[in-house]
Structure 1
Amino acid sequence: MKLHEKKFNEILELLKSKLGSKISVSEEHGTTSLCIEDSHYWLSTDAYELTVGFSLDHQHFSEEYEGLKRELNRLLSS
């Protein structure tokens, strides 16, 4: 399992533990997505990257571009 997939799963488990049934997960064309009910926040992961979004605005995170660990730290400290 790649780092971005592991981080997606960790975030998913955390959100499920805090928000329960407000989290919906779907899989389509090799992409796993999660949405938070009554919210514009969403996350998705595929074979290459983690994407974090709010409505139409989103940010891609990948080890190949800028370093996933550094970008996640930047995102979480904002």
Structure 2
Amino acid sequence: MKATENNNLSKIEFLEEQIEEITNSGFFTEREIDRLSHPLLLELYKLKNQAIATGHQIRKHKINLFGWLKVKIKF
């Protein structure tokens, strides 16, 4: 595996852990979860698709990430 691929996998794992922590913490309201996890989801979407996604492209999709989090990204 290339160094870039390893680095991206590490970033994806880190982002998934951060989103799971925010979502499952019990300390945040749904609105706060959306606000805190949105930038992480955006970065995760870019890494997983290896492309720079525009707001328009992302708005059109529901992203089902790792089976436990289904979010419709809103701008």
TM > 0.5 fold call: no
Higher helix proportion, which one? 2
Q: Greater CA radius of gyration, 1 or 2?
A: 2
